[in-house]
Amino acid sequence: MKQKGHELLRKSEKYTKTDMRYFLSSGFWITFTRIIQSVAAFIVSIAFAHFISKDSYGIYKYIISFAAIIGAFTLTGLASSISQSVARGFKGVLREGFRTSLKWNALFILIMLVSATYYLYNNNIVIGLSLIIIGLLQPFIQSASFYGSYQQGMKDFKSNSFYAILSTITQTILLVGAMFFTKNVTILIAINFGSLFITFLLFYFLTINKISKEATNDSESTPYAIKLSLINILSRIAQHFDKVLIFQIIGSNELAIYSFAMMIPERVKGLIGGVSRAALPKFSNRTNKELQKTLPRKLLLLSFGIILIIPIYIFLAPTIFKILFPQYLESVGLSQVASLIILSSSTSFILNALFSQKLIKKIALISTISPIIQIICVLIGGILWGLMGVVLAQTISNIINTLIAYVIFVISKRSDEKN
């Protein structure tokens, strides 16, 4: 049966133009991890819905989004850079990347402490203390998280999956357990980031101990990461801008409603897009011409599968919310509209293909145009039409940005053919 299975996969490669055995082995672990993380997220969300008020949950989401926007100015491109360098044999980049990341987080710490001082001065103790906690822990969390980039570069998806699942389970148990005893947002923030701080540092040291101290470093890794980080700034801001805007102009209750509306569509989009992480090491070992020939067909097949998911979710959404989140039934209609963002899942495959070839200009173009469109759409939609305006803005901008990414990819293909 195993032999027949391999033969069937080999035959299917004629139509998919994909290494199906690699895809299933790597894709299985990534998809399995994403499923566990999604289930854990649902459990946490159910706990928040039942134990924490909308106002407190809205504040909780605002604090995390605010910190994420400030984090956009750190060395966010190191994860992709390390993964690619390791795939080419430079194992020493993990150790160097940890130190480099901590240095670049100095600005993050400073901004978080200044922001915390502002909130404390204005008697907002919850947000002020929460920002101090995140400011002190997040630099280590981010730097240690590169163990996952190293494992992906080594194509060790099994270990990567095991560590990610263990971290997720630990975080979920501690966070949900805490809700039985406290409703304090600051304590919940401390538990959330504290669990990541402990598990990520543990996994980092377990990984680094397996790497020889004489392992070679990639001199191009940090310069490339700096370029990627600069390119990523607008994208990172756009990713969380909607939540900060809603909190500031509409309120924390509405942010809670919006967060639950977007939760499932964003999880599904992340689940599909997450598979592209498995493709990055493969992409790095392919030429640009090879990717240009094979990727469009794969994206077309992916799009057909995505189109089938959306109507199923629209039909099931009322039942899902009625059973799991009865406190947020007002989120149902918003969530049904938001399901259209799943159509943009293929964008991550295009970006990873461009990342793998280090096509900085193409990446910069997409990463500049797309977030600007998203921020403008969200700003206009939120001011004019409230929550529904933000949801429509997110949906429309995501679809437009996917089309832009594909057009730029096709243009790069034609220009490469002329050369």
Q: What is the 3-state secondary structure (H, E, C) of 209-273?
A: CCCCCCCCCCCCHHHHHHHHHHHHHHHHHHHHHHHHHHHHHCCHHHHHHHHHHHHHHHHHHHHHH
Q: Is 309 exposed, middle or buried (0-12, 13-18, 19+ CB in 10 A)?
A: middle
> pLDDT: is 277 or 52 the higher one?
52
Question: What is the structure's pLDDT at 288?
Answer: 65
Show the tokens assigned to 169. Answer: 């389970």
Question: What is the structure's pLDDT at 5?
Answer: 46
Question: What is the structure's pLDDT at 1?
Answer: 56
Q: Which of 174, 14, 153 is nearest to 94 (CA)?
A: 153
Q: pTM to 2 decimals?
A: 0.87
Residue 315 binned pLDDT confidence (cut-offs 50, 70, 90): very high
> pLDDT: is 402 or 321 the higher one?
321
Question: What is the structure's pLDDT at 16?
Answer: 47
Residue 131 binned pLDDT confidence (cut-offs 50, 70, 90): very high
| Residue 358 phi, psi dihedral angles, 5° rounding | 55, 40
Break the chain into its structural domains and give their ranges.
18-418
Q: What is the pLDDT of residues 228-265, one digit of tens each?
A: 899 889 999 999 999 999 999 999 999 999 999 999 99
Question: What is the structure's pLDDT at 417?
Answer: 45
> pLDDT: is 136 or 352 the higher one?
136
CA distance 214 to 206: 17
Task: Write the CA distances from 224 to 128, 157, 187, 357, 404, integer angstroms.
Answer: 35, 24, 38, 12, 24
Residues of the chain with pLDDT > 90: what percent? 63
CA distance 388 to 391: 5
> pLDDT: is 9 or 191 the higher one?
191
- Mean pLDDT score of the chain: 87
Residue 21 binned pLDDT confidence (cut-offs 50, 70, 90): low
CA distance 199 to 194: 9
Residue 155 binned pLDDT confidence (cut-offs 50, 70, 90): confident
Is residue 27 over pLDDT 70?
no
